[in-house]
A and B are shown apart, each in its own frame.
Chain A
């Protein structure tokens, strides 16, 4: 198998910085705005997310190429991917609860939420659409999770500081969070020169 290191590096940089899934593709906004209030929770969410999205890329790629394509069922990709992701998340939840109750307590509530996170489905579909190889898909999944975790942690840190700040009452809560996200996204635009395709 010929591994193109430069391409893989490009995928990582692109998914984490240039096309950050949260800040420039607007995926997973709900947890990004909803749970970015405490740092330890954000960390837990970021880790579970990275794990689930990597594993989903790992499973859906062979499923698409070895089951759907040979039988010409490509149009079923949305339905089958969402089922795979849902089952997988459920499996992880059962497994973690059985073998590591402490971790389960920490992540418990966030695992089921991830099923409904658009990042996971988007990444698995994007892997297929961009015709990535198996290894590249896994790398893309992992870096998508990493980028999501990073954006979430940055956002949480800013919002923890914001608790102390005095802001107009009409901006309180979600509106100010969106404006901060806008400013962060503006900063991330600066990375767009990094990618040379």
Chain B
């Protein structure tokens, strides 16, 4: 029993750091860049994606033994599209302001490579509990990345965090950070920092091995 719990935990943590979908696997970049003008939007798209991922992973894992291999991809896409439609209807009904901000980027989660990628690479080969752990881990990893980028862009671009000014009165906002170029530059610099840190870590490991 303990082994199983450990396994689930590993699965969950993998998605958050070692296999972070955005920074490591480079999946699902479009929504990460497009809507992350603020921390709130980053969180919203992250939670929406986690919900779809959870639903589709569970369904795919349940049907994996009945669906012939040749038609599996269309089946996955249909499952994902259904969950995206559900998410969209929920957002429209209960959080119309959030939907107005995210707009069509909720709809195009259907073709988000994270969701299809996890369905194909993970849920179609693993049991339901494992798939749930994987979905939650990947979803959390994506949410963290999206809200991190959102927070950086919001702080630099408008001097606020969650709408509250935090940079002091004489801070001059770098407007370009909330426009399109800011997203590209932020993610580029973040990836470079992560690469650098990894390189340093490896160097350290080699040194201690010596």
Chain A interface category by residue count: 35 or more
Which among B176, B187, B193 is the interface contact of A178 at CB below 8 angstroms?
Answer: B187
Query: Quick check: is A131 within 8 A (CB to CB) of the other chain?
Result: no
Which among A86, A122, A172, A185 is the interface contact of B108 at CB below 8 angstroms?
Answer: A122
Which among B110, B193, B199 is the interface contact of A78 at CB below 8 angstroms?
Answer: B110
Interface string of B61-88 (1 = CB under 8 A from A): 0000000000000100110011011001
Size of the chain B interface, CB-CB below 8 angstroms: 40
Interface string of B104-143 (1 = CB under 8 A from A): 1001101111001000000000000000000000000000
- Verify B189–A125 contact, CB threshold 8 A: no
**Residues on A with beta carbons closer than 8 Å to the beta carbon of B187:** 178
Question: Of the 9-residue stretches A20-28, A42-50, A56-64, A140-148, which lies at the interface with chain B?
Answer: A20-28
Query: Quick check: is B26 within 8 A (CB to CB) of the other chain?
Result: yes
Q: How far does the alpha carbon of A186 sit from the alpha carbon of B82 in the complex, in Å?
A: 37
Q: How far does the alpha carbon of A7 sit from the alpha carbon of B91 in the complex, in Å?
A: 32
- Verify B77–A86 contact, CB threshold 8 A: yes
Q: How far does the alpha carbon of A185 sit from the alpha carbon of B33 in the complex, in Å?
A: 13
Query: Quick check: is B183 within 8 A (CB to CB) of the other chain?
Result: yes
Q: How far does the alpha carbon of A83 sit from the alpha carbon of B111 in the complex, in Å?
A: 11
- Verify A27–B181 contact, CB threshold 8 A: no
- Verify A189–B179 contact, CB threshold 8 A: yes
**Residues on A with beta carbons closer than 8 Å to the beta carbon of B192:** 168, 170-171, 175-176
A: residues with CB less than 8 A from B are 23-30, 33-34, 75-76, 78-79, 82-83, 86, 115-118, 121-122, 125-126, 129, 168-172, 174-179, 181-183, 185-186, 188-189
B: residues with CB less than 8 A from A are 26-27, 29-30, 33-34, 74, 77-78, 81-82, 84-85, 88-89, 104, 107-108, 110-113, 116, 176, 179-185, 187-189, 191-193, 195-196, 199
Given A170-B196, A171-B195, A174-B191, output 4 extra A-B contacts at Cβ < 8 Å: A26-B183, A176-B188, A179-B184, A182-B188
